[in-house]
Amino acid sequence: MKKCCTLLVILFLQSCQFGQSSFEVSKTSEEVRMKLKEVLPVLERPNYDVILGRTPSQKELELGRLIFNDTILSRNNDVSCATCHLTNHGLADGNALNVGTLGQGGPSGDDVGSAFAEGVLSVSRSTGEDGFGFVGPTFFFRNTLSTVNVAYRVNEATDNGLFHDGRFGRIHFQVLLPIHTNVEICGTNPIVLNEKGENIFAEGGPLFDKPVTINHSNSNDDYTGQDTGKFHAQPQIIKGIPYKRKDGSISIPNRNECLAILVAKMRKVPYYQKTFQEVYGEDVTDLNIGRAISSFVMTHVALNTPYDKFVKGENSLDASQLRGLAMFMTPIGKEIEVGGKKLKGVGCINCHDKGTFGGNGFASLGVRSDSRSPLSRTDFSTNRNNGFFSRPRVQRGYLPNCHVLGSSALETTSYVPDIGRANGSFNSDDCFKFRIPPLRNVIETYPYFHHGTERALGRNESDFEKRSLLALKNVVAYHLRGPINPQLYSAYDVQKPFFDDLYQKDFLVPYYAQNFIDYKLKGPNHVDLFPVTLDDEAINDVVNFIAYGLWDKSSMSKGALGNDVSHPKKVPSGLSPSITRDNGKQTELPPNGKY
């Protein structure tokens, strides 16, 4: 009895110590939970037996982690997956558009590699506009997506769901695509001879002493090495890569050759040799590399957020986040009362509707594309014969009619908006739609939108958290502005962060193509509901909820199977891990190999 009283006194004193607020928070938590209990989405742990057909072993996951971070992946030994998917940027990269292999600037060498491993950002970095100051032969075409929670989006059957346009769904194959892709990991440079004038990739040379069979092959023209754009063709045996092609040109390895070079290099590294045998009972092959990386990526999961704890009954969200949640879940035009205060619904759940707070829907918010992306170049996006994605479109016999050829905008500017989902579906109704992005860990994946165009203070703000919050505030405000009435705007200004002038055919995402309310409904845009005006406190509440309420801080160190997902200090090849941009100073042969 006495003990019990003491406990009560302590509890009472504790709640007094935190004043009324702790009591208020628990009361408000209960109120919000009760009011929303029917609609709060829940995220279950991924079922690996279903999505991978097995639960990967710790040994396989560690193998995946090391490959993911090993710059052996690129022919020039300068880029790994972790160049663009960094654990200290929420497994995205902090840039609007990144650059792939052969980039220059930014961090370089082992020092930065190890500083990065300690979680240090921006060591000796010259910060360019997007923070990193990389310069490359070409900018990559979209803002890097995080690999977090892809396990909930992969779909082998439909082969849809991944990327901003959902054009891919098979993860085993997807993880090999960056290795295939010249501008990303492989390199557009011709083969470099060593100091003795030898081609180390030649048939019978140190790497190709045995031929390599590529299973996930892509049919390249044998004679010119030119890529014909067909994936999953016949397995191909690669005996070596000639320095000169039959027509006398110096060879740039094609997609299959890039993959073969990787397999050949990894077979020379004792750790990989041994571990692939142990895990798969086989030599290093492209299929096994795909298995190892994808198993690892599938454990990048953000599941343990204050929101999830709140759903389970804890008082893990503060008062502002609770108000934000209530607004998020309430449709536009409706109100919800929390703690005696009437709050406006902002209808986010209409679209960000799954347990990931993303989902597989697509919508067009008319967001401006970045003119540095190849996908916003007129020649690239509208040329039927030699444009990005145009070959597969032509192979299917039709092209989505997003850009109206011959319109004044196309004649006067080299810029057009990225057509988005229509790249994957080939359906004109999907022009300019993008995947509704997942919002868990969103505070870590600054900048925002498909080309990273929402970057608030950008390079001028060195406090990364503050920068994310400011950018998120803009993102929310942008959503609430709704589709713009074209009559209200006239002059166009390319520098504006978003499309404001929607009557300009093609130059802008057309007004009628935007759907700010419900991507599932084709109907009217409910223009009458917009703009939704919120005061600063209300916008901050929504931002606080998505930024902190949906943040799983442990997900950057621990994977869903208890495995380590952090950035390793050393990788098996002996190369500097993951983010080196040292102008090709690393050797073409990995130092830890046996040749």
Residue 520: Cβ within 10 Å count: 12
Q: What is the CA radius of gyration of the chain?
A: 26
Lookup: tokens for 249:
């040109």
Cβ-Cβ contacts under 8 Å for 6 (sequence gap 6 or more)? none
In the bound complex, what is the minimum distance in angstroms from residue 448's beta carbon to ligand HEC?
A: 3
Residue linked to tokens 């240090």? 120
Measured from the CB atom, is 269 or 542 closer to ligand HEC?
542
Task: Report the residue from 448, 499, 507, 530 that binds ligand HEC according to the rule CB under 6 A.
Answer: 448
Measured from the CB atom, is 29 or 330 closer to ligand HEC?
330
Q: Is 259 in the site for ligand HEC (CB under 6 A)?
A: no
Q: Is 145 in the site for ligand HEC (CB under 6 A)?
A: yes
Q: Is 307 in the site for ligand HEC (CB under 6 A)?
A: no
Task: Report the residue from 507, 519, 530, 548 that binds ligand HEC according to the rule CB under 6 A.
Answer: 519
Measured from the CB atom, is 469 or 542 closer to ligand HEC?
542
In the bound complex, what is the minimum distance in angstroms from residue 210's beta carbon to ligand HEC?
A: 24
80 torsion bin: left (phi>0), alpha (psi -120 to 50), beta (else)? beta
Q: Is 208 in the site for ligand HEC (CB under 6 A)?
A: no
Q: Is 476 in the site for ligand HEC (CB under 6 A)?
A: yes
Q: Is 445 in the site for ligand HEC (CB under 6 A)?
A: yes
Q: Is 184 in the site for ligand HEC (CB under 6 A)?
A: yes
In the bound complex, what is the minimum distance in angstroms from residue 516's beta carbon to ligand HEC?
A: 5
Task: Report the residue from 301, 326, 348, 402 that binds ligand HEC according to the rule CB under 6 A.
Answer: 348
| Binding flags for ligand HEC, 478-497, as an x/- string (CB under 6 A) | -xx-----------------
Closest CA to 315 of 41, 542, 21: 21
Distance CA 359, CA 338 (A): 27
Residue 58 carries which side chain, given as an amino acid letter?
Q
Stretch that binds ligand HEC, among 47-55, 216-224, 268-276, 514-522 (CB under 6 A): 514-522
Residue linked to tokens 């892709």? 181
Q: Is 241 in the site for ligand HEC (CB under 6 A)?
A: no
Cβ atoms of 77 and 64 within 8 Å: the answer is no
Distance CA 342, CA 3 (A): 43
Lookup: tokens for 412:
């006067």
Cβ atoms of 215 and 193 within 8 Å: the answer is no
Number of chain residues interacting with ligand HEC (CB under 6 A): 55
Stretch that binds ligand HEC, among 179-187, 219-227, 260-268, 272-280 (CB under 6 A): 179-187
Measured from the CB atom, is 409 or 472 closer to ligand HEC?
472
Closest CA to 143 of 185, 88, 89, 79: 89
In the bound complex, what is the minimum distance in angstroms from residue 283's beta carbon to ligand HEC?
A: 20
| Binding flags for ligand HEC, 57-86, as an x/- string (CB under 6 A) | ----------------x-----x-x-xxx-
Q: Is 575 in the site for ligand HEC (CB under 6 A)?
A: no
Residue 392: Cβ within 10 Å count: 14
Q: Is 185 in the site for ligand HEC (CB under 6 A)?
A: yes
Closest CA to 232 of 314, 176, 194, 278: 176
Residue 429: half-sphere exposure toward Cβ, Cα within 13 Å: 6
For ligand HEC, the binding residues in 532-571 under the rule CB under 6 A are: 542, 546
Task: Report the residue from 142, 180, 265, 421 that binds ligand HEC according to the rule CB under 6 A.
Answer: 142
Cβ atoms of 60 and 298 within 8 Å: the answer is no
122 torsion bin: left (phi>0), alpha (psi -120 to 50), beta (else)? left
Cβ-Cβ contacts under 8 Å for 122 (sequence gap 6 or more)? 131, 462
Cβ atoms of 85 and 147 within 8 Å: the answer is yes
Measured from the CB atom, is 201 or 296 closer to ligand HEC?
296
Measured from the CB atom, is 307 or 516 closer to ligand HEC?
516
Stretch that binds ligand HEC, among 236-244, 253-261, 447-455, 574-582 (CB under 6 A): 447-455
In the bound complex, what is the minimum distance in angstroms from residue 71's beta carbon to ligand HEC?
A: 10
Stretch that binds ligand HEC, among 19-27, 46-54, 176-184, 398-406 (CB under 6 A): 176-184
Cβ atoms of 378 and 102 within 8 Å: the answer is no
Task: Report the residue from 33, 75, 89, 164 that binds ligand HEC according to the rule CB under 6 A.
Answer: 164
Stretch that binds ligand HEC, among 190-198, 209-217, 436-444, 460-468 (CB under 6 A): 436-444
Buried b (16+ CB within 10 A) or exposed e, 491-509: ebeeeeebbbbbebebbbb
In the bound complex, what is the minimum distance in angstroms from residue 431's beta carbon to ligand HEC?
A: 13
Closest CA to 98 of 547, 579, 591, 518: 579
Residue 511: Cβ within 10 Å count: 18
Lookup: tokens for 401:
């009619």
Cβ atoms of 311 and 37 within 8 Å: the answer is no
Interface residue list for ligand HEC (CB under 6 A): 73, 79, 81, 83-85, 98, 100, 140, 142, 144-145, 147, 150, 153, 162-164, 174-175, 178-179, 184-185, 293, 297, 346-348, 350-352, 363, 365, 367, 434, 436-437, 439, 442, 445, 448-450, 472, 475-476, 479-480, 515-517, 519, 542, 546
